[in-house]
């Protein structure tokens, strides 16, 4: 029987545990320019710092939930936290990008285990009457940690080192593990017959990994390179094999029958498009602020505050809109406003203050996402049978991660092409010599982090630097326009597919 005081301890453990994943996601993004400068990373290597984590988190998220059901939710939660802590230490001590990327992949595995375990513990350890309030408290605290993430990451990267963005996980993880061992009861589902679909997990990871590898490396090698073609083909075949596996096995990692619900399928298509737009563009935004506009990482983190403030304060109100007007209206209006926000991201040039350039864009995207999130979650959870609500949430969470995973790879390829085209034109305009052009060739893959060749006169150095910055702004403008198109497309999906009021699958 659960002790009377254990409820508060369970909440504390799950909130602190989840906060590591939320803080890590937002804090690492604003630290990317510092990581690039410190380790001499190319833009493709920076992509892998994010993608290695997102790949294993997206591919193994549903398996992580099953681990808790089968071996014990507390045990799996502790396993995940422990692996996340160990890999965070590895990232912080890593001497090169290769080790950073490997350790980030292990972080993703750990997060895939403890992120679903957080809500699973709350669901198992609280009564029906207590559960709603506990989840509400967990959600509010999660929103707060999302606000803290960019500021904390920027502060640590500015005043200490980007490595402390990862070391900060260690004391939090130790506290969580101690609380979980001493104050959180164990629970498992002995009657569910849950089996781990390791074959499905391997196929999903290999398929996604090969696809993302091909897209990222295409920026260096070209789409026609044999290695890129083989990788992309292997990715498509791997994902096709995953779908066939899930259709035929008795215990699929992702039961595809859940997609028979029109609202559920539509909501997940909307999720993929909208979060793809958000994840891909937000990868490049800190690079614009720090490398082009000269912000410190702390200032770049603060630039995100209007977004997280609006999402954390308006989302609860937006959830009530579903009761009053149904899901369709907010799910059309919210993504449309996000699309307008991304159009505003495409507007600024090199000059201008934050308040007149990117602030309106951050506010618009934040307001649009705030209107969208709660109705989207409600639609996902309400469009399937109540017994499958946990699965529905897990699938939608995985789609969210998958969207960012794919879009960062695709947007990186597009950004490099736009950057190179703009830089070629500007080097001609400023009369750069063939020697300067040649010396810049190896630097192009660094985008805004490209180094101007040494020994140039001051005026020529300034002209080349400005050409690099303007070319990257061009690339970010292109990324923003594509993001706007994806956001508007997600609004059209809601208009065409999502019902005015969510219906469970199988309902007439």
> What's phi and psi for 422, nearest 5 deg?
-65, -40
Local confidence band at 317 (pLDDT 50, 70, 90 cut-offs): confident
Local confidence band at 94 (pLDDT 50, 70, 90 cut-offs): very high
pLDDT digits (tens, 9 = 90+) for 3-41: 444 778 888 888 888 888 877 777 888 888 999 889 888
Domains of the chain by residue range: 1-186, 198-252, 259-508
Residue range 412-435: average pLDDT? 92
Predicted pLDDT of residue 192: 53
Classified as helix, coil or strand, 296 is coil
CA neighbor of 21 nearest in space, from 51, 49, 44, 54: 54
Residue range 264-268: average pLDDT? 90
Plot region of 343 (φ>0 → left; ψ -120 to 50 → alpha; else → beta): alpha
pLDDT > 70? residue 263: yes
pLDDT > 80? residue 136: no
Comparing 58-72, 157-171, 336-350, 394-408, the range with the smallest average pLDDT is 58-72
pLDDT digits (tens, 9 = 90+) for 149-189: 888 888 888 889 999 999 989 999 999 999 999 888 887 76
Predicted pLDDT of residue 500: 46
pLDDT > 80? residue 235: yes
Predicted pLDDT of residue 233: 94
Residue range 370-390: average pLDDT? 75
Higher pLDDT among residues 85 and 67, named by residue: 85
CA neighbor of 491 nearest in space, from 273, 307, 277: 273
Residue 347 near residue 489 (C-beta atoms within 8 A)? no
The Cα-based distances of 245 to 63, 70, 208, 237 in angstroms read 15, 21, 15, 12
Q: Is the pTM of this model over 0.75?
A: yes
Residue range 267-279: average pLDDT? 93
Residue range 382-401: average pLDDT? 74
CA neighbor of 126 nearest in space, from 215, 43, 3, 32: 3
The domain 1-186 is placed in CATH, from the list 2.40.30.210, 3.30.470.10, 2.40.420.20, 1.20.1250.20, at: 1.20.1250.20
Distance CA 285, CA 448 (A): 11
Comparing 106-120, 160-174, 224-238, the range with the smallest average pLDDT is 106-120
Are the folds of 1-186 and 259-508 the same? yes
- Count other Cβ atoms within 10 Å, centred on residue 359: 14
pLDDT > 80? residue 112: yes
| CATH H superfamily, domain 259-508 | MFS general substrate transporter like domains (1.20.1250.20)
Distance CA 336, CA 328 (A): 12
The Cα-based distances of 416 to 224, 330, 359, 447, 472 in angstroms read 16, 35, 25, 7, 9
Sign for the pseudo-dihedral over CA of 472, 476, 481, 482: positive
Structure tokens at 116: 């679903």
Higher pLDDT among residues 143 and 43, named by residue: 43
Higher pLDDT among residues 504 and 332, named by residue: 332
pLDDT > 70? residue 140: no
Residue 79 near residue 113 (C-beta atoms within 8 A)? yes
Q: In the predicted model, what is the mean pLDDT of the chain?
A: 85
């Amino acid at each position: 029987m659960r002790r009377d005081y254990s409820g508060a301890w369970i909440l504390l453990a799950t909130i602190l545990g989840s906060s590591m994943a939320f803080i890590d996601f937002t804090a690492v993004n604003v630290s990317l320019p510092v990581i690039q400068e410190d380790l001499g990373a190319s833009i493709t290597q920076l992509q892998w710092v994010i993608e290695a984590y997102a790949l294993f988190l997206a591919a193994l998220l549903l398996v992580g939930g099953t681990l808790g059901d089968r071996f014990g939710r507390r045990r799996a939660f502790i396993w995940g936290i422990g692996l996340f802590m160990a890999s965070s230490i590895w990232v912080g001590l890593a001497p090169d990008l290769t080790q950073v990327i490997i350790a980030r992949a292990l972080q993703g595995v750990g997060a895939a285990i403890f992120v679903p375990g957080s809500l699973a513990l709350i669901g198992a350890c609280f009564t029906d009457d207590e559960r709603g309030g506990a989840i509400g408290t967990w959600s509010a605290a999660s929103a707060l940690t999302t606000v803290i993430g960019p500021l904390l990451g920027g502060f640590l990267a500015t005043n200490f080192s980007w490595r402390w963005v990862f070391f900060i996980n260690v004391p939090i993880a130790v506290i969580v593990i101690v609380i979980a061992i001493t104050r959180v009861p164990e629970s498992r589902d002995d009657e569910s017959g849950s089996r781990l679909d390791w074959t499905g997990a391997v196929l999903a990871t290999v398929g996604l990994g090969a696809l993302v590898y091909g897209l990222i490396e295409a920026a260096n090698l070209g789409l026609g390179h044999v290695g890129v073609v083989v990788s992309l083909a292997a990715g498509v075949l791997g994902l096709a094999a995953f779908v066939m596996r899930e259709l035929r096995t008795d215990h699929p990692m992702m039961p595809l029958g859940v997609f028979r619900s029109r609202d559920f399928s539509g909501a997940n298509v909307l999720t993929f498009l909208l979060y793809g737009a958000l994840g891909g563009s937000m990868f490049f935004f800190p690079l614009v602020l720090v490398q082009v506009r000269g912000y410190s990482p702390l200032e770049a983190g603060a630039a995100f505050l209007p977004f997280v403030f609006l999402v954390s304060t308006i989302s609860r109100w937006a959830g009530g809109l579903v009761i009053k007007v149904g899901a369709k209206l907010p799910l059309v209006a919210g993504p449309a406003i996000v699309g307008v926000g991304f159009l505003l991201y495409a507007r600024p040039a090199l000059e201008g203050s934050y308040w007149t350039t990117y602030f309106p864009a951050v506010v618009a995207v934040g307001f649009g996402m705030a209107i969208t999130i709660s109705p989207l979650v409600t639609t996902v959870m309400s469009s399937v049978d109540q017994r499958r609500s946990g699965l529905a949430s897990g699938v939608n969470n995985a789609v969210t991660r998958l969207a960012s995973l794919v879009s960062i790879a695709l947007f990186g390829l597009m950004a490099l092409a736009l950057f190179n085209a703009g830089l070629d034109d500007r080097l001609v305009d400023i009369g750069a010599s063939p020697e300067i052009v040649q010396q810049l060739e190896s630097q192009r893959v660094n985008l805004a982090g490209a180094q101007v060749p040494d020994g140039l006169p001051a005026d020529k150095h300034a002209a080349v630097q400005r050409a690099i910055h303007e070319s990257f702004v061009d690339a970010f403008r292109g990324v923003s326009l594509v993001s706007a198109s994806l956001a508007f497309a997600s609004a059209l999906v809601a208009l065409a597919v999502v019902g005015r009021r969510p219906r469970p699958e199988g309902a007439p």
